[in-house]
Amino acid sequence: MKGLVVVLALVLAAALGSVRGELRRLGDQAPPGSRPHSVTITEFGAVGDGKTLNTVAFQNAVFYVRSFADKGGAQLYVPKGRWLTGSFNLTSHLTLYLEKGAVIIGSKDSSQWPIVEPLPSYGQGLDLPGPRHRSLINGYNLTDVVITGNNGVIDGQGSVWWQWLRSHELNHSRPHLLEFLHSEKIVISNLTFLNSPAWSIHPVYCSNVKVHNVTIKTALDAPLTDGIVPDSCSNVCIEDSTVSVSHEAISLKSGWDKYGISFGRPTSNIHINRVDLLSSSGAALAFGSEMSGGISDIHVNHLRIHDSYKGISFKTSPGRGGYIKEVVVSDVKMEDVHIGIEFTGNCSSHPDDSFDPSQLPVINQITMKNLVGTNISTVGVLSGIDGAPFTAICLSNLNFSMVADSTSGSWSCSNVSGYSQSVFPQPCRELSDPSSSSSICFSLSRYSAIAIA
């Protein structure tokens, strides 16, 4: 069998050499990049007419470029065109480059999205018990992968999946657009992600991930579509991007109830800078609610949040365990947001009935400073857990203006404690305890850098 594989690889290489020579004569060759080797998806029989299914072409292209892994890696170039495909995997030391006008389109045929086991930190799919559909573009146990382009597009054609979810016709949980598992040194940049069936970018159990200059959009009435979801990851940088989705624009997670507690991999050292966020029915920036492995050491700066149901949300529940701590959010502008700040200990969804309600989460050392909001319906709704209050919630230099016809109060608090200064409207007394001081608050001085190789 090994001999047959070698022979096939040699035959494929020879054929590709001939094809590549013809393409060069036609001027259809990949632009120079950082990789020493480059191939074009058309060399593997792909047709960019939006109708021809190119799943096998993408799979064969990735199989071929594996041979360059120990030679500095290779670039897979996708030229202008509409490239219909089902799910395919990537390989290490690969650059996937989408030219301007190149659109990778996810098939509407669910059989082109294979069934895989649920993530071990979740115990089931997000929509249904049991397995889930594999994402459109996948990486498992990889290193040194770049997905970039000249503002090329990855379109999941998610509307058919949204309809199946609404009509209860799904057999397995929906797929994501792009997912990496157990991988490191990942860069995602200069692309647009459209119409994901579920989440757009989902690194899980990864480290050293950079997401830069991306645009993510789904229909604002699409059910439960999230944008960027770092999940049980460390050393992640998200910057200079725009996300407009229905549910959560950026959501930090780390596993669900006993599965996340047992898996025990936290999300930590996350840096989010200069992003524009819109969430029509959820939160623009969310922590949880699946946070059972823990979330800590989070630094968020220079956000614009607009036309959203919630601005910044911390969500958990009895049974989650884990923690959210050492979070600093600063320099945020909110416009036309229904609830500016939310803390809730009653996000009661669970993967099954075997959760232990005595596993209480810890929410501690959350600092928000330099926030400005205009046309806000409710500034803050903070509701901790009876017997496990959320502590050291620290607010500094917040100024919110309310909608003219708002009938709700500006703040609502229970089972929380903390410190505030220079906050308008005046926060609830639980956040204004004169015996507290700013020394309980997490400091920006602990900012740590991320190295993305």
Task: Give the residue extent of every domain in the chain.
Answer: 35-247, 277-286+303-350+358-453
pLDDT top residue among 12 and 327: 327
- pLDDT value at position 435? 55
- pLDDT value at position 356? 92
Tokens coding 288? 């949880």
- pLDDT value at position 441? 67
Tokens coding 340? 């500016």
- Predicted model pTM: 0.91
- pLDDT value at position 352? 85
Tokens coding 371? 């926030």
Provide the percentage of residues in the chain whose pLDDT is more than 70.
87
- Asked if the model's pLDDT at residue 136 lies above 50, the reply is yes
- Asked if the model's pLDDT at residue 1 lies above 50, the reply is no
- Asked if the model's pLDDT at residue 444 lies above 50, the reply is no
CB 400 within 8 A of CB 370: no
- 246 cis-preceded (ω within 30 degrees of 0): no
pLDDT tens figures, 163-179: 999 999 999 999 999 99
- Asked if the model's pLDDT at residue 372 lies above 70, the reply is yes
CB 302 within 8 A of CB 344: no
Beta strands in 41-194, from DSSP E residues, in sequence order: 49-53, 74-78, 81-85, 88-89, 94-98, 102-106, 115-116, 132-133, 137-140, 143-149, 152-155, 178-181, 184-194
- pLDDT value at position 434? 54
Choose among 346, 338, 337, 297: nearest CA to 317.
346
- Report the distance separating Cα 339 and Cα 122, nearest Å: 29
pLDDT tens figures, 90-130: 999 999 999 999 999 999 999 999 999 999 999 999 999 99
Angle at 282 between CA 281 and CA 287, to 5 degrees: 175
Burial class (CB in 10 A: 0-12, 13-18, 19+), 425: middle
Q: Which residues contact 340 (CB under 8 A, 6 or more apart)?
A: 310, 311, 312, 334, 371, 373, 376, 378, 379, 380, 400
- pLDDT value at position 438? 53
Choose among 389, 439, 383: nearest CA to 413.
383
Dihedral sign (CA 372, 375, 378, 384): negative
- pLDDT value at position 430? 93
- pLDDT value at position 406? 64
CB 250 within 8 A of CB 214: no
pLDDT band at 348 (very low <50, low <70, confident <90, very high): confident
Choose among 317, 319, 238, 307: nearest CA to 279.
307
Choose among 48, 175, 200, 10: nearest CA to 108.
175
Choose among 353, 278, 419, 307: nearest CA to 123.
353
- Report the distance separating Cα 313 and Cα 284, nearest Å: 8
CB 112 within 8 A of CB 55: yes
Q: What is the mean pLDDT of residues 7-36?
A: 46
- pLDDT value at position 318? 96
CB 115 within 8 A of CB 96: no
- Report the distance separating Cα 194 and Cα 105, nearest Å: 9
Task: Report the mean per-residue pLDDT for the chain.
Answer: 90
Torsion of CA 383, 384, 387, 391, to 10 degrees: -130
pLDDT tens figures, 201-226: 999 999 999 999 999 999 999 999 99
**Fold classified for 35-247:** Pectate Lyase C-like (2.160.20)
pLDDT tens figures, 303-341: 999 999 999 999 999 999 999 999 999 999 999 999 999
Q: What is the mean pLDDT of residues 416-428?
A: 94
